[in-house]
Amino acid sequence: MVSEPLRRLQEALQELPGIGPRQALRIAYFISSLGKVRITELARAILRLTELRTCTQCFLTHEREGAFCAICGDETRDQLTVTIVERETDALSIEKAQIYRGRYLILGEVRRDSELSIEQKIRLNSLLSFLKERGGALEIIIAVNQTMYGELAAERIEEYAKSHTKKITRLGRGLPTGGEIEFADPDTLAHSLKNRR
C-alpha cells in the first residue's frame, strides 16, 4: 500500500544516523505532504552539499576556495597542536568552548571492535607525515568518545602517534557541569575521584 516513491525514500532515510524504519516512513509521508515547492527546496538543499570540499589536511568539510578549511588555513592558530575527534560535530562542540587554538583531525567514527579502519589509518598517516616534516607536534589531544571501545581505540591511536609528538593527552573525565552525584554512574564517579582538583 505504500507507494514506490515513498518506499524508496524510506529506505534512503533509514540509512541516516538515528533514524529507524518507522520514523523514516513518517518523515517520507511528512515530506510528501509539504507540496512541490518545499519538496524541491529540500532536494536542492541536499544537492548543495555536493559543492562542499573536504579539507585535505584535517578532513573537515568546507566551502572555501582552495584545499584548506578555515581552521587549517588560519595562521593565527597553532598547527602543531592537533585534536583528534571522531566526527565533525565533535570539532564544532570543542570550537564552541572557545578555549582551543590548535587544529583538528577528523578520524571518523570508531568501530565497535576498536580497530582502526583503513581510512582511519590513511588519515592518521597523513597527519603524521605532516608532523614529521615540521619536527613533530607540540601536543596531540585524543578526543574520541568516552565509551569502552572509544578508550580502546584511543590506546591504539596513542600507540600510532606517540613517536611524533612531544605530548599526547586525552580529554579529562569526571562529573559534567550540573551533574548530580546521586545520578552519576560509578565509572564517572571513580574518574571524578581520581581526577579531583
With binding defined as CB under 8 A, does residue 74 bind a copy of itself?
no
The H or E element spanning position 61 is: strand 61-62
In DSSP terms, which residues pair with 164 in a beta bridge?
Answer: none
Question: What is the β-pairing status of strands 165-170 and 137-143?
Answer: parallel
Instruction: Look at strands 165-170 and 53-54 and give their pairing.
Output: unpaired
Residue with cell 585535505: 56
- What cell does 16 get? 541516516
Q: Is 39 in the site for a copy of itself (CB under 8 A)?
A: yes
The reply on whether position 67 binds a copy of itself by CB under 8 A is no
State in angstroms the smallest separation of the CB of 145 from a copy of itself: 13
**In the bound complex, what is the minimum distance in angstroms from residue 102's beta carbon to a copy of itself?**
14
Q: Who contacts 73 (Cβ-Cβ below 8 Å, separation ≥6)? A: 64, 66
6 binds a copy of itself (CB under 8 A): yes
DSSP SS3 for 126: helix
Contact residue for a copy of itself among 14, 73, 78, 88 (CB under 8 A) = 88
* Residue nearer to a copy of itself on the CB measure, 110 or 161: 110
CB of 51 to a copy of itself, least distance (A): 6
Q: Footprint of a copy of itself on this chain (CB under 8 A)? A: 1-6, 8-9, 12, 16-19, 22-23, 25-33, 36, 39-52, 61-63, 70-71, 87-89, 91-92, 95
